[in-house]
Amino acid sequence: MSEPNPRLIVVQGGYRQMGEQLGEQTADLIARSLDTYVGRFKNDAGLSDADIDRWGRVYLDVAASYSPEIAAMLEGMADGSGHPAHRLAALNARTEMLYGTGYRDEGCTSISVLPRYTANGHTLIAQNWDWHPEQADVTFLLATRDETGFSVLSLAEAGMLAKSGLNSAGLGVCANLLISDLDHGGKGVPYHYLLRGVLQAKTMAGAHKKLLPVERISSGNVLIADAGGESIDFELAPGVFGTLFPEQGLITHSNHFQARLPLQDKKAANSALTLLRPVRARHLLEPALEERKVRVADIVATLRDEWSYPDGICRHPNPEEPAAERNATVYSLVMDLDDRVLWIAPGPPSRHAYTRWELDTLFDNPVGTTEFEVPA
């Protein structure tokens, strides 16, 4: 049997212990991730080693005050990997460290469907993560289970703790980059800390508390849904936030602000097809929504859509762009929050099958199954 793509990393125990296991299992990947982003910090943001270390220590201190679990995992990951904890903190703050460099052309299309509109009566949430294709090699699924049995399954770049994922409380999250004129460098809670903070929450209310009453220094979109049958989208920026709610049971989002907020959107005009990707996703799902029979297969088909190739929902590298600036769908995810199941395919999903993982069983039986093969 071939190894799943992405690979699955499983850790269990206390949070520092889990961080240490994670560091030991991914030390080589962390080294590669640090090489990539430290190079960007220096070349694109003009930061020196001293600057990177200073800001890394700032963000490590922020972790301790924002989430003791995140801080403990970073310290443990440093012990396990041999890389300084403050460098790992800087890695988790890559969005903030690269503020103002023009490097943040991360894409993404996210979807949530309420259970009243799904064929199996479950809450579904999904995303295509668009980024630099070479990051696929240092990205994996991270499964954590603490001493109380609380578990999380999330996509993660090496050295980082979260991206999109779900937890054993039936809460799911998807992430989309946003950029506004309110973004600034300095001390605050990094966007990727916010994502892990949501995944550590056991209730929807708890998730909101990890996003809203905190000092944010960058913009970002966070789509949340739960097995209780609700979903909300938060468009976050420093000092302000907007909300979007389901229409006909559906929320779709990409990389521009949709709520009315006192800011200037700095990404809407130059992000590949961001203005139409959410509309396109809604159009593709409308027939199933009208029948209230949206299936996981319908969402997979939407995430595989290649309209306006190469810059559609299923994004391909554009050969007309410089190699270092090319973006594509790196991974595609669909989650059933009632069953605690996650399907994931490497990009482009139109060319690959999805692997199915069950959060409730993967710690004892870490074997995924292949589903949604590419049509012949």
CB of 233 closer than 8 Å to CB of 221: yes
Instruction: List the single range of 108-122, 344-358, 362-376 with lowest mean pLDDT.
Output: 362-376
Residue 76 in contact with residue 68, Cβ under 8 Å? no
Going by their DSSP bridges, the two strands 369-371 and 354-358 should be labelled as antiparallel
Question: Does any domain span residue 27?
Answer: no
317 found inside a domain: yes
Cα separation, 244 vs 29, whole angstroms: 37
User: How many domains does the chain contain in total?
Assistant: 1
Residue type, 5: N
Q: Which two tokens stand for residue 178?
A: 């946003």
Token digits for 289?
Answer: 């929504």
Among 185, 176, 181, smallest CA distance to 94 is for 185
As a whole number, mean pLDDT of residues 62-66 equals 98
Q: What is the DSSP string of 160-180?
A: ---SSEEETTSEEEEEEE--B
Q: Domain of 249?
A: 103-363
pLDDT digits (tens, 9 = 90+) for 232-250: 999 999 999 999 999 999 9
Segment 73-90, tens digit of pLDDT: 999 999 999 999 999 999
Q: What is the CATH number of the domain that holds 185?
A: 3.60.60.10
In a domain, 11, yes or no: no
pLDDT band at 270 (very low <50, low <70, confident <90, very high): confident
Report whether pLDDT(185) > 90. Answer: no
The residue with tokens 């903190």 is 89
Six-digit token pair at 241? 């936030």
Residue 105 pLDDT greater than 60, yes or no: no
Give the whole-angstrom CA distance, residue 267 versus residue 256. Answer: 6
Q: Is 74 within the bounds of a domain?
A: no
Query: Model confidence at 2, in pLDDT bands (50, 70, 90)?
Result: low
In this structure, is residue 55 part of a structural domain?
no
Q: Mean pLDDT for the chain?
A: 95
Residue 14, domain member (yes or no): no
Judge whether 18 lies within some domain: no
Q: Please answer whether residues 210 and 197 qualify as being in contact, where contact means their C-beta atoms are separated by less than 8 angstroms.
A: yes
Structure tokens at 154: 């999330």
Establish if 143 belongs to a structural domain.
yes
**What is the mean pLDDT of the segment spanning 22-33?**
98
